[in-house]
Amino acid sequence: MTGHIRVLTSLRFFAALIVVFFHFSFFPGAELPLRVQQLLGMGPTGVAFFFVLSGFILTYTYQRTFAASGLKWEAVRPFLQARIARVYPMHVLGLVLITPLTLAALPFESFPWGSWLRELLLVQVYSAGSQSVWNSPAWSIACEAVFYLTFPLVTVRLIRLRPQVNLYGLALGLAAVQVALHVLVVRAALAGTGGGFDFAYTSPALRIFEFMIGCVIGTAFLRGQAGDRRYQLGARGRLVTLLVAGAVILGGIALKGALPRGSEDLVTRVLGQTIHAYAAYTLPFAAIILAYASGPTVGSGLLSRPTLVLLGEASYSLYILHWVAFKALEALERAGYAVPFLAVGLTIAGLIGGSVLSLRLIELPLRDRLRPRRIFGSAHGGGPVSDSTLHHPAQQ
């Protein structure tokens, strides 16, 4: 499984990169052909991939530990401590770096002091319109914090499911509930009686379904490894799964491009403006993760290359820090300097290189200092799984 985990780590880089491209495509100097813009418009779905992958990897890494210990504090405490060590240092760094840029863009009297504290404590997603005011990607880290708190309960419940329960059917049911709730929230937003479209996108109450589906698929994978043939994918099954998932994703991109923007029609708004950001792709992303985890398939060789694995490990730094660079370029525009396409490209390249430096000089040292001394064993009991595989760059 180690080689296949490396493949999943590499996929994190591409998911983070499409989020970065999505944000930087808003600069006038980065004008691109329509088809490219439509592809980059799928950037927010990168966060959905991270949420599903997070549930899968945490299940693979921790489920058997919780199966042995249950919900005892002796197991929950080191799990939560490891999660804090994984995400919080870079979150604080990103917030500190973005603060002067945000201060420069706002009049002092309108400075949102309360929002800075809420973002520091990762509690900014508990109200309507809860996009992060400071470092925009932090909203997804706040959602992840909720997921971490619920994970021990979720994984113990999955452990206790009867073998007769079809886990694929359970994942499908969770996806259906997510879509139904999403439609209700969007309908309320259109009527002016709900929390707004930001709430539909950033609320952990809606986004937790991606994480739980990742947990369910992770459980199915572990059962397949334990001998349950229902959850084993052979070479042909892996290829077919990837092809079907890819076709669904391409169909979603085409549908989004064909629908009018800004429509107040519920169906059009749900299909074209909101659901494409995550709910329509939760199951295809889960299928892709399961296929690559199950064994070698198309693209596995490339994704196993050390360079891509390293970039995948650095993807959290890339995700957190890219908004700082984005706001810096935005400040130049406000000062009257045009930001050419070349500057945007060089900034992204610099961010990729800087994320590797951040991983090695900041992220890993702080994580090692803060994480618990007791490291959980892998699902096979064969020693600790590298913590670099345990999280996504969350986040938009």
| More confident call, 112 vs 72 | 72
| More confident call, 3 vs 125 | 125
CB within 8 Å of 220: residues ≥ 6 apart: 167, 168, 171, 230, 231, 290
- Give the lowest-confidence range in 25-29, 128-132, 148-152: 128-132
- The answer to whether residue 394 scores a pLDDT higher than 60 is no
CA distance 48 to 46: 5
26-84 pLDDT per residue, tens: 776 656 676 677 677 788 899 999 999 999 999 999 999 999 999 999 999 999 999 99
- The answer to whether residue 5 scores a pLDDT higher than 70 is yes
Q: What local confidence, expressed as pLDDT, does residue 361 receive?
A: 96
**The tokens of 394 are what?**
């969350």
| Average predicted confidence (pLDDT) for the chain | 87
pLDDT tier for residue 267 given thresholds of 50, 70 and 90: confident
The residue-averaged pLDDT of 162-176 equals: 96
**The tokens of 260 are what?**
């009018």
Distances from the Cα of 124 to the Cαs of 81, 178, 374, in angstroms? Answer: 21, 21, 31
Q: Are 195 and 118 in contact (CB under 8 A)?
A: no
pLDDT tier for residue 380 given thresholds of 50, 70 and 90: very low
User: pTM (2 decimals)?
Assistant: 0.91
- The answer to whether residue 222 scores a pLDDT higher than 50 is yes
CA angle centred on 206, ends 133 and 160, rounded to 5°: 130
- Give the lowest-confidence range in 106-110, 217-221, 343-347: 106-110
